[in-house]
């Protein structure tokens, strides 16, 4: 009987170790680029319409990317006073929304505007100055 309970204890310990070894905190990140998660509906463009309506079965979801002419602030909200998450370096391609969004007015890259681009950078969605976009394209 003692061997039986010892065997159960060993199996339980092995199971607990296998769970802790597979936890995300100890997982090794594979090399390569970080891809943005699949955009939610507010971050896509619907391209199929029928009489101004977008039927659920006919919606083609598109994703986009852009790069900025200058290093731009990646902000939590589409406002000049919003928290700056990081600075996106000039010329870096980043996943973005396929539409610009109105927000607070700013002056950047030689223009004054109130349009912002929703941007995915270093694991977070945020906003950057739309007037600084140098190139933009659909990725799907």
What are the extents of the domains in the chain?
41-138
Predicted pLDDT of residue 134: 95
Q: How far is CA 43 from the centre of its chain?
A: 10
pTM value > 0.75: no
Widest CA span in the chain? 81
pLDDT score for 38 = 46
- What is the reported pLDDT for 59? 54
What is the pLDDT at residue 52?
54
pLDDT averaged per 10 residues, the chain (length 140) = 52 47 40 46 45 53 90 97 97 94 95 96 96 93
The answer for 114, left when phi > 0, alpha when psi is -120 to 50, beta otherwise, is alpha
Q: What is the pLDDT of residue 62?
A: 78
Which residues contact residue 20 at a Cβ distance below 8 angstroms, ignoring those fewer than 6 apart?
Answer: 26
Closest to 88 measured CA to CA, from 48, 47, 134: 134
SS (H, E, C) the chain: CHHHHHHHHHHHHHHHHHHHHCCCCCCCCCCCCCCCCCCCHHHCEECCCECCECCHHHCCEECEEEEECCCEEEECCCCCCCCEEEEECCCCCEEEEEEEEEEEEEEECCEEEEEEEEEEECCEEEEEEHHHEEEEEECC
């Amino acid at each position: 009987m003692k061997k039986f309970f010892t065997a159960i204890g060993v199996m339980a310990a092995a199971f607990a170790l296998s769970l802790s070894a597979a936890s995300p905190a100890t997982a090794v990140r594979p090399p390569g680029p970080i891809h943005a998660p699949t955009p939610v509906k507010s971050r896509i463009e619907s391209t199929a319409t029928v009489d101004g309506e977008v039927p659920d079965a006919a919606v083609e979801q598109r994703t986009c990317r852009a790069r900025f002419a200058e290093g731009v602030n990646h902000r939590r909200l589409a406002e000049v006073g919003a928290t700056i998450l990081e600075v996106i370096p000039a010329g870096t391609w980043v996943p973005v929304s396929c539409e610009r969004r109105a927000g607070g007015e700013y002056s950047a890259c030689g223009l004054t505007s109130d349009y912002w681009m929703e941007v995915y950078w270093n694991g977070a969605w945020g906003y950057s100055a739309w007037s600084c976009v140098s190139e933009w394209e659909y990725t799907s």
